Amino acid sequence: MTRSHCLTLIVDRAAQTLGSSLVDIAREMVKGAAPIILSEGEAVDIPCAEPGTGTASLATIRAVFNGKGVDVLLTRSRGRRKGLLIADMDSTIVAGETLDDLATHAGIGEKVIEITRLSMNGEMNFETALRARVALLKGLPVSLLEKAWADVRLNDGARTLVATMTAHNATTALISGGFTYFTARVAEMCGFTEHHANILGMAGDVFDGTVAEPIVGPGAKHDHLLRLTAERGLKAAATLCVGDGANDLPMLRVAGVGVAFHAKPVVRQEIANQLNHAGLRGLLFAQGYRLSDFRDA
């Protein structure tokens, strides 16, 4: 049997341990080879053929393991370590939605959060939703940005993900439908090669209710992926993209490996590789990195 793929099992190390009995179940479902330990009790690779006739599908395997707190990802064995990472920021690299946090400090949180929900679930056009949310900020003090920044928290593994891929010669880009005020700081904290986001309009010390054109939305994320692969001389197969919302789908669809990270239902329905339990370290395990390969920021 040609074992052209790897099935990777990952758990949230803070919540549980990946036991051998779970690994054995997965190995049997794909008729896989002996497991390769990537991080003891946290992540393993199981070399296998591409799931198909005679073995369980990835959807079936995920259905079995989701209830056990185990993430299951399937990648090709060749070229697993990617030369380009493109990451969304809000609810991916950072734990919350920075625009929602900004609106909450402004006292208009409920209105903005509902529009964000519709947009991220694909129920409202992204550009329309962004303009509508920003318009609600008109006349409010720019100083609210600093208050919102104080709420920002990196998701577990964010720095390690970027540092490790950078150490192995990957380009890393933070591309967000949010705002440069936040991406500039998050990119510096994590060590991203570059960052791109929207620019809030200001009139003196207040917001003017506008966002600069062109808007960095779903199409822009896709376009940055194409630009960076061309600049690096990479094939699409050598790219990894991660995001959680409907505006991330265009880049997730065309990446060599697109990963839905604790994503909205509309994203999970379409993107096969998902991290629903583990943190961002899982993106390294999905590339075959062992814990001993990890780098600190």
Q: Tell the CATH topology of 82-283+292-297.
A: Rossmann fold (3.40.50)
DSSP string, 37-78: EEETTTEEEEEEPPS-TTS--HHHHHHHHHTTTEEEEEEEST
Supply the pLDDT for residue 52: 76
Supply the pLDDT for residue 55: 84
Q: How many CA atoms lie within 13 A of 81 on its CB side?
A: 15
179 three-class SS: strand
Supply the pLDDT for residue 275: 98
Domain ranges within the chain, ordered by starting residue:
1-78, 82-283+292-297
Rg over alpha carbons for the chain, rounded to the nearest Å, is 20
Tell me the C-alpha distance between 17 and 7, whole Å: 18
Supply the pLDDT for residue 51: 83
Supply the pLDDT for residue 255: 98
Supply the pLDDT for residue 31: 93
Supply the pLDDT for residue 1: 60
- How confident is the model over 137-157, as pLDDT tens digits? 999 999 999 999 999 999 999
Q: Is 223 one of the annotated active-site residues of the chain?
A: no
Q: Is 293 one of the annotated active-site residues of the chain?
A: no
Task: Choose among 80, 121, 98: nearest CA to 283.
Answer: 80
Supply the pLDDT for residue 42: 98
Q: What angle do CA 233, 234, 235 make, to 5 degrees?
A: 130
Supply the pLDDT for residue 69: 95
Q: Is CATH 3.30.70 the classification given to domain 1-78? A: yes
Tell me the C-alpha distance between 30 and 39, whole Å: 21
Tell me the C-alpha distance between 237 and 220, whole Å: 20
- How confident is the model over 190-238, as pLDDT tens digits? 999 999 999 999 999 999 999 999 999 999 999 999 999 999 999 999 9
Which of 45, 88, 101, 244 is catalytic? The answer is 88
Tell me the C-alpha distance between 37 and 68, whole Å: 19
Which of 12, 71, 90, 100 is catalytic? The answer is 90
Examine domains 1-78 and 82-283+292-297 and report if their fold is the same: no
Task: Choose among 190, 195, 194, 196: nearest CA to 164.
Answer: 190
Stretches where the chain sits below pLDDT 50 are: none
